[in-house]
Amino acid sequence: MSEQPSGAVASSDLEAAARNTEQTAAQEQSSPAPSPEDGAGRMENLSMQAALNRALAETLAEDPRAVVLGEDVGRLGGVFRITDGLQERFGADRVFDTPLAESGILGMSVGLAMAGFHPIPEVQFDGFAYPAVNQIVTQLARMNYRSRGTMPMPVTLRVPSFGGIRAPEHHGESLEALFAHVPGLKVVSPSSPHEAYHLLKHAVAVPDPVIFMEPKSRYWQKGDVFPDDAGPLQGAKVVRPGRHVTLVAWGAMVARCLQVAELAAEDGIEVEVLDLRWLKPIDAEGLAASVARTRRAVVVHEAPLTSGLGAEVAALITERCFDTLRAPVGRVTGFDVPYPSGDLEDEYIPNIDRILFGIQRVLEYRRG
Amino acid sequence: MDNNLQPAALPAEELRRLYRLVTAVRQLDLAAIAWQRQGIIPGYAPELGQEAAQVGSAFAMDPKHDFVFPTYREMGVALTMGVDMTAYMSTHKASWHGGLYDPVQTRLAPIQAVVGGSVLHAVGWAHGQTLAGNPGVALTYFGDGASSQGDVHEAMNFAGVLKAPVIFFVQNNGWAISLPTEAQVAGGTVAARAAGYGMKEITVDGNDAAAVVLATREAAAHARAGHGPVLIEAMTYRRGPHSTSDDPGRYRTLAEERRDEGADPVRLLADRLVAEGIADSAFLDAALQDANANADRVREGVMALGPRPGSEMFDFVFAEPTEALKAQARAWREESEHV
């Protein structure tokens, strides 16, 4: 099976990403770090790939116990180039290639954490996390518990996640519900370069295992990053306010929901978009605060419907907002099918039309 | 002196210490089986026959620098390392899965119930020593059954590639519950696999405590010198059941046990000590009395272990607990303790 980037990650994208990263590195080297006073309003337009690369570089520079490991993360810089240039800059002790075995990568990360390191392993694609699930579930998630708090696991597992890039089988999976179900794990997914930069830096500082789900279809989209203004690092974030319905999303679905909100606004429907960000712990109060205003909610995710995280979101909303909800919480999700080939993934991933229908169902709901 | 016995290349005092340790392990092991029959503990995984392999290997390690990764059947390792045995045996009292001892302070990782689960951790820990410039060596235990696990193969390959200072210590006790080694290990030995991973291997009589000490010291020196991992296969025999819930009569006969079990490790060492004039029957008797007294003390300690406070379910899930988990803990407390 291919462990190379799919055809959709065209070489031109990779070259562009590399140029971005080189420019970034050049900027970092040519100018001293800004002082807090003049840096407060800094803003840069970066791709998520560059933002993640920057976050890792700063983490490695600031935290001597941080190590990056995985398949092809060293000399190659990762198949998505997220670790581009890091081995060259920090050395092969801090950023190292492992043999091709995901359970080995995770098991080794557990041992490194036992030795006091802050490992940042990468599995190359979401579907490649499956061979590591035993180590993640039976070891990484439980070592702090098993050791009665004497062996915490400050491990941040980076997982290029979700679909949308016409990749081969097992390169487009959405594993958030699986991981969120495991006691001892925390799960987060950034939706933009700004979030990616700050949430990754934060995740590495969390003393617990964090599954960091990067929306791979968003790696090459640029966005404004405010390096000195992280804002709240916990909880959900309203990325577009609205009065009529709350769209709850994470990862790549946030950008899509913002498009939907724009279209709905043309019909006079004011959609609030809530970027959940943390999939465990879910910000139940943030959810409730938004839905208390809008009184309607639709949760959107790429993962299959049944036992997906949307069910948890719906339950949390219902527990807190039952009396004021105008309609049952809607769900617009992938289907209960294996993630399809590229030809069909646009049918599978919630698209703008399906999300608009989901909003319509909730708005038109009448009590029986 | 019996000229057929090779003199052990260990000082007399070390041999005497080894004997006291294997005897303490033997008596505590027998005692724990009795505790299970008496209802003091719900279950136990005996190590009858594996005392020399466990004591000898742990005896060879440097407790200041090294770190040990056990399975669920390494009571003899824990005792040799000086772990508080009440805290260790608490896992069999169902107090806490990983045991109540402090793994950081004792340098014995928490008890591991996943077969082969901790072997990769040893590689990660060992590579960490290399990265940090520390002289530590990781010693990881597993059995002939665990040698089939993919994680064990991944661990050996990672260690070979990284030249990690790890000792893979296989106690080949002949049985993985009901499956004999010949139905488990293709090629006949685990040690043969070391060549494929580019690592040194040592096959040792796992019933001979002194031989195990020497093999493990050789392996530790090799790993500590930066020459990479070592695979030790200690050939021994699981004389008892897999656990106190197991019934070996369903898969092997007493006649087969007597044919296959080899020398009793405790008896073997006693004979050597006496033959070499290192110990007399008074010494052996004193060692047995001390071992029994120790087992009695641990029994009292285990019986004194009260039930764990229910709040501990929640206490160690995260280093930084989530609000959702705190809420569950509060709800549990309100509904179960009516406070």
Q: Indicate which residue of B217, B251, B252, B333 is catalytic.
A: B251
> Residues B54, B59, B63, CA angle at the centre, nearest 5°?
120
Closest to A108 (Cβ–Cβ): which among B123, B317, B320?
B123
Separation in Å, CA of A285 to nearest CA in chain B:
10
Which residue from B72, B76, B19 is spatially nearest to B50, judged by alpha carbons? Answer: B76
> Which residues does A72 contact at the CB level (< 8 Å), separation at least 6?
A3, A78, A79, A97, A124
In the predicted structure, residue A154 carries a pLDDT above the cut 50: yes
At residue A316, the pLDDT reads 98
If one compares A33 and B68, the residue with the highest pLDDT of the two is B68
The whole-number pLDDT of residue A367 equals 85
Tokens of B97: 């899965």
Q: Please state the rounded mean pLDDT for residues B59-84.
A: 97
Res. B198: pLDDT tops 90: yes
**Subunit contact A148:B128, Cβ cutoff 8 A:** no
pLDDT over threshold 90, residue B293: yes
Q: What is the pLDDT of residue A368?
A: 75
pLDDT interval class at A40 (50, 70, 90): low
- C-alpha dist (Å) from residue B312 to A244, B95, B307, B328: 44, 11, 11, 13
Q: Which of A118, A170, A171, A202 is catalytic?
A: A171
Confirm whether B238 is a catalytic residue: yes
Residue contact A151–B129, C-beta within 8 A = no
Return the axis-axis angle of helices A252-266 and A352-363, rounded to nearest 10°. Answer: 60
> What would the two tokens of residue A353 be?
């039309």
Task: Read off the tokens for B146.
Answer: 């665990």
CB A199 within 8 A of CB A254: no
* A190-222 per-residue burial string, b: 16 or more CB within 10 A, e: under 16: bbbbbbbbbbbbbbbbbebbbbbbbbbbbbbeb
User: In chain A, what percentage of residues exceed pLDDT 70?
Assistant: 89
Contact: B127, A111; criterion CB under 8 Å: yes
Q: What percent of chain B has pLDDT over 70?
A: 97
Query: Which of B127, B242, B272, B299 does the annotation list as catalytic?
Result: B242
> What integer pLDDT is reported at residue A32 of this predicted model?
40
* Cβ within 8 Å of A, B 301-330: 315-320, 322-325
Residue B29 above 70 pLDDT? yes
pLDDT tens for A72-117 read 999 999 999 999 999 999 999 999 999 999 999 999 999 999 999 9
To the query of whether residue B44 is one of the catalytic residues in this protein, the response is: no
Is residue A39's pLDDT more than 90?
Answer: no
Cβ–Cβ gap A186/B125 under 8 Å: no
pLDDT value at B246 more than 60:
yes
Q: DSSP string spanning A241-264?
A: --SSEEEEE-THHHHHHHHHHHHH
Q: Which of A115, A149, A206 sits opposite B316 (nearest CB)?
A: A149
Residue in B closest to A145 by C-alpha? B316
**Residues from chain A contacting residue B128 (CB–CB below 8 Å):** 111-112, 114-117
CB atoms within 10 A of CB B308: 14
pLDDT mean over B152-168: 98
Q: List the one residue out of B314, B317, B266 whose CA is nearest residue B28.
A: B266
Point out the least confidently predicted range of A9-23, A209-223, A238-252.
Answer: A9-23
Residue A31: pLDDT band with limits 50, 70, 90 = very low
Q: Max CA-CA distance within chain B?
A: 74
* Cα gap A326→A318, rounded to integer Å: 11
Query: Percent of chain B beyond pLDDT 90?
Result: 96
Question: Residue B177 pLDDT > 70, yes or no?
Answer: yes
Going by C-alpha positions, the residue among A264, A226, A221 that lies closest to residue A245 is A264
- Asked whether the predicted pLDDT for residue A128 surpasses 50, the reply is yes
Tell me, what's the pLDDT at B295? 98
Nearest-CB residue to A147 (from B110, B114, B325)? B110
Quick check: A25 pLDDT over 80? no
Catalytic residue, from B238, B239, B272, B299: name it. B238
Can you give the pLDDT at residue B339?
59
Whole-number average pLDDT of chain A: 91
Which residues are B181's β-sheet partners?
none
Instruction: Kindly state the average pLDDT of the residues B299-319.
Output: 96
Q: Contact, B165 vs B230, CB < 8 A? A: no
**How long a stretch of residues is chain A?**
368
Name the residue with higher pLDDT: B50 or A6. B50
What is d(CA A120, CA A98) in angstroms, rounded to the nearest whole number?
Answer: 13
Cβ pair A94, A237 in contact under 8 A: no
Q: Which residue in A255, A152, A172 sits closest to A213, CA to CA? A: A172
pLDDT of A29: 40
B150, B157, B317 ranked by CB distance to A99: nearest: B157
Supply the pLDDT for residue B23: 98
Q: Do the Cβ atoms of A186 and B117 come within 8 Å?
A: no
Q: What is the DSSP string of A318-363?
A: HHHHTTT-SSPPEEEEE-SSPPPPHHHHHHHS--HHHHHHHHHHHH
Q: What is the mean pLDDT of residues B183-209?
A: 97
In chain B, how many H helices and how many E strands? 14, 7
Chain A residues touching B96 at Cβ < 8 A:
148
Chain A hits for B115, Cβ within 8 Å: none
- Asked if B318 and A186 come within 8 Å (Cβ–Cβ), the reply is yes
Query: Is the per-residue pLDDT at A20 higher than 80?
Result: no
Residue A351 pLDDT > 90, yes or no?
Answer: yes
Q: Which two tokens stand for residue B77?
A: 């390792």
Strand B230-235 relative to strand B166-172, pairing: parallel
Contact: B322, A186; criterion CB under 8 Å:
yes
Over residues B15-26, mean pLDDT: 98
Q: Report the alpha-carbon distance of residue A234 to residue A285 in Å, rounded.
A: 12
Contact yes or no for A152 and B319 at CB 8 A: yes
In this prediction, residue A317 has a pLDDT band, given cuts at 50, 70 and 90, of very high
**Lowest-confidence region among A54-68, B2-16, B24-38, B217-231:** B2-16
| Angle A197-A290-B323 from CA coordinates, rounded to 5° | 65
- Where does the pLDDT of residue A162 fall: very low under 50, low under 70, confident under 90, or very high at 90 and above? very high
Cβ under 8 Å to A: B residues 109-148: 109-111, 114, 117-129, 131-132, 138
Distance CA A332, CA A117 (A): 40
Rounded mean pLDDT of B56-80? Answer: 97
How far is the alpha carbon of A126 from chain B, nearest alpha carbon, in Å?
20
Mean per-residue pLDDT for A299-326? 98
